[in-house]
Structure 1
Amino acid sequence: MTNTGGGYWRRLVRRLTTDVSELDADDLSRKAVEVGAVRACDCQSGQEVTVLGRLRSVELCPRDAAATLEAELYDGTEGVTLVWLGRRRIAGIEPGRTVKARGRIAVRDGRKVLYNPYYELQNAS
């Protein structure tokens, strides 16, 4: 017979004593793995990946004449910058939204980037 009570109490105490942002990061990371996405911390430059996370920020970056829309996606482990070239706005791409994105990882200024990724807006859950 297995004693599951210890596990329950350990999880309960952890939920009550851990910082909310840390718990949120754990939930995001777990959801990403459940849908078959690669954790951002495991992505390598040149690799074709699917990532899932919450958009922390969205901004229009007018560089020279071509505008770009950039969004920081956080999956609980690390951030990935999503960059849409030539776009000023995309409906549904807004801070707090959960997004699943697919593309080839690049590195720009030491940060992981997906240029013009395919994306799916996820239902709030």
Structure 2
Amino acid sequence: MPPAAAGYLRRLTRRLTEDIEELDAEEMAESSHSTGAVPVVQCTRGQEVTMFGRLRSVESCSKAAAPTVQAEFFDGTDSLLLVWIGRRRIPGIETGKTLLVRGRVGERDGRRVIYNPYYELRGPA
């Protein structure tokens, strides 16, 4: 069997037998790397970063609380929290959307967070 065909069969077999979430994480990490973005797993507090990934969840605060939108951002290596203060809703910021974000990494309750990040909505990489 030619090497190209063997490689194709190996990738096909892997896709059919591996966990879908693991494959998605690998693809997202590869897409993030190809954009030149910093992986979330390598980010440290105080660092200014540009990252590429997908929103896993988006939450808005209740009407009684101060207006904020929070989103879990995942790039295939790890996740962090994006928080927009002073907003109850942001058009385009929805679960499953892919985006490029820029901002300074902070920490809240032991978790990485970026407050009021600059963002660009992107199509799938």
With structure 1 as the length reference, what TM-score do the two structures score?
0.89
**1:52-79 Cα distance to aligned partner (Å, 9 max, x none):** 1111111113597521111111111111
The match for 2:89 is: 89
The match for 1:114 is: 114
User: How well do the aligned residues superpose, as a CA RMSD in angstroms?
Assistant: 2.0
- Paired residue type of 1:23: L
After alignment, is 8-17 or 58-67 more displaced? 58-67
- 1:14 aligns to what SS in structure 2? helix
Partners of 1:81 and 1:63 in 2: how far apart? Answer: 21
- 2:61 aligns to what SS in structure 1? strand
Map 1:28-39 onto structure 2 (within 5 A): 28-39=28-39
Runs of 4+ with >2 A deviation: 2-10, 61-66
With structure 2 as the length reference, what TM-score do the two structures score?
0.89
Q: Which runs of 5+ in 1 are unaligned?
A: none
Partners of 1:60 and 1:34 in 2: how far apart? Answer: 31
- 1:66 aligns to what SS in structure 2? coil
After alignment, is 59-68 or 86-95 more displaced? 59-68
Partners of 1:50 and 1:40 in 2: how far apart? Answer: 10
Q: How many residues align?
A: 124
Residues 63 and 36 from structure 1, CA distance in 2 versus in 1: closer, same or farther, beyond 3 angstroms? farther
Q: Which runs of 5+ in 2 are unaligned?
A: none
- 2:101 aligns to what SS in structure 1? strand
- 1:13 aligns to what SS in structure 2? helix
